[in-house]
Amino acid sequence: MAASESSRYLARSLPRAFVPTVRPQGLCLRRNVSGQTAPADLNELESATSLASMASSDAVKSFDPIARSSQRKKQLPRSRYQFRSPKYDRGPLHPHQPPPPSDPSSRLYIPGPFSLPRVEQTYQSTVASDILTLCYVHNPPGFKPPPKAARLRSWDDSSPYHKNRPLRGPRGGDVLRLLRKPINFNNVPKLERITIHSYIKQAAQENSSWLHVAGMAVQAITNAKVETFKSKTSVATWSIVPGRDTVAVKAELRGEDMLHFFGKLVDVVLPRIKDWEGVKGSSGDSSGNITFGLEPENVALFPEIEVNYDMYPPKMIPGCHITVHTSAKTDKDARLLLSAMGIPFYGKIVN
C-alpha cells in the first residue's frame, strides 16, 4: 500500500510524459526499491528542462572562433593519436611494419580519384553497352559448343622417354596465346593503363639535358612522375653501351590520370596532327595492347606544352611511344574498344 502511495506522489511530481499510463496502478504487485523514493527528494529536482538554451547573451557575443584562431601563433596540438608510418621497410620479420599503400597513413598512399573523367562517363554510358552488343553471340537453347582440343598437347607414347615429360606446347610455335573468353557484361574490355615511353639517343651521345627536357615534357603531358631507364642493348652507331647510358623515359598512367590523358589525346591532339591517317591496323602485340608513336612536332601539340612552349628547347622535345593496355585478350577486341573511344585505324587490320 505504501508503494502505491509513493507511486501516486511520483506521478504527480513528474511531468506527464514520464508517467507510465499503460499499466493500471492497482494491479502492480511487484515492489521495487526505486519505487520507494521519498517525495522530499523529488522536490529538489529542477523544474526547468536542461535542454533549453541557457547561454547568456554576452557569452554569445564574445564567441568568435575565427578571430581566436587567427590570434593563435602556433598550431594546436593534434587532438588524437595519429599513427605515423615507419620511414623504412625493414623486411617482413621486423615488428614494426608499414601499413599497406592503400592505407591513408601509409607513406606510399596516393589519394584520389578527385574527378569523374569524361572518357569514363562516355565509356560507362555508351561504349561498354555498344561493345557488349557488338560482341554478342547468340546460342540457341540446348546449344553445346564443340569440344576444343587441349591447348597443350600430350605426348604420344611412342617412346619410353615420353613418360613424366611436361606437356608439349601448341602446334606451330611455342607461344601460348591468351585465352579469349566470350565477352560478357562483366568482362567488357576497358582501358587498364597507358604507358608513354620515349627513347632519347642524344642523352647518350651528347649530355643529359635531353633526358631532363624529355622527362619534363612527358611529365607535363601526363600529370605523372617519369622513370628513367638505362639501355639494355648496345647500339654501336649511336655509341650506346648497355648498362651505362640512361636513355629512356617512361611514365605509366592508371586510373584518373590515364583517362584524362586519353581524353585530351583523342579530342585535342590527334586531330591536329598534319596528314595523320590514324593508328596502323597492324599494331598491337596480339594480346590486346596497342602501340602507336608520336613525332616530336606532334608532342608539341599537347596543350600543356603549347601553353609555355618557350620553356622547352625546341629541338629537345621528344617523340614518344604510347602503349594503350586494355583488358581485351585479343587485338581485335582492343581495336574495337579504341575505335569506339575515338582512335581511328587505317590500313590492313591484322587480328
Partner 1 sequence: MSFSLPLRHSAISAARVQTSTTFICSQCRHATLLRRPKRPYTFTQLITLSDGSTFTHRTTSPAPVYRSTRDTRNSLLWNPSSSKLMNVEEDEAGRLAAFRAKFGRGWDAKTPTEEESSKTPEQMDQKAEAAARAAAEEEEDDNLLDLISSFGQEEEQPSGKKN
- Tell me which residues touch partner 1 (CB under 8 A): 85-91, 98, 106-108, 110, 114-115, 117-118, 219-221, 223-225, 256-257, 260, 263-264, 266-268, 271-272, 276-278, 303-304, 307, 342, 344
Q: How far is the CB of 130 from partner 1 (least distance, A)?
A: 17
Task: Please give the grid coordinates belonging to residue 318.
Answer: 621528344
- Inter-residue contact 323 to 291 (CB < 8 Å): yes
Closest separation in Å from C-beta 142 to partner 1? 16
Decide: helix, strand or coil at residue 23: coil
Whichever of 211 and 258 has its CB closer to partner 1, that residue is 258
User: Which cell is 326 given?
Assistant: 586494355
The least CB distance from residue 85 to partner 1, in Å, is 7
Which residue lies nearer to partner 1 by CB, 251 or 324? Answer: 251
Q: Which is nearer to partner 1, 242 or 303 (CB)?
A: 303
- Pairing verdict, β 345-346 and 279-280: parallel
For partner 1, which is the closer residue by CB, 204 or 270? 270
Nearest distance in Å: CB 167, partner 1? 32
Could you give phi then psi for residue 20, rounded to 5 degrees? -75, 115
Please, are residues 344 and 269 in contact by the beta-carbon 8 Å criterion?
A: no
Residue 122 sits at the vertex; the CA angle it makes with 132 and 333, to the nearest 5 degrees, is 35
The nearest distance, CB 323 to partner 1, in angstroms, is 21
Closest CA to 234 of 242, 222, 244, 246: 242
Biggest CA-to-CA distance, the chain: 114
Residues 6 or more apart in contact with residue 115 via CB below 8 angstroms: 256, 260
CA dist 46 and 13 (Å) reads: 11
* Nearer to partner 1 among residue 170 and residue 255 (C-beta): 255
- In whole angstroms, the minimum distance from the beta carbon of 171 to partner 1 comes to 32
Amino acid identity for residue 117 in this structure: P
Which single residue is written with the C-alpha cell 598550431? 75
Q: Which is nearer to partner 1, 87 or 171 (CB)?
A: 87
Q: How far is the CB of 259 from partner 1 (least distance, A)?
A: 9
CB 162 within 8 A of CB 155: yes
The least CB distance from residue 304 to partner 1, in Å, is 4
Helix H, strand E, coil C: the string for 192-224 is EEEEEEEECCHHHHCCCHHHHHHHHHHHHHHCC
The answer to whether residues 254 and 238 touch, using CB atoms and an 8 Å cutoff, is: no
What is the closest distance, in whole angstroms, from the C-beta atom of residue 247 to partner 1 in the complex? Answer: 22
Q: Which is nearer to partner 1, 56 or 102 (CB)?
A: 102
Give 135 or 266: the residue with its C-beta nearer to partner 1: 266
- Nearer Cβ to partner 1 (253/334): 253
Rounded Cα–Cα distance for residues 340 and 106 (Å): 38
Q: What are phi and psi of 40, to 5 degrees?
A: -65, -35
Distance CA 218, CA 302 (A): 10
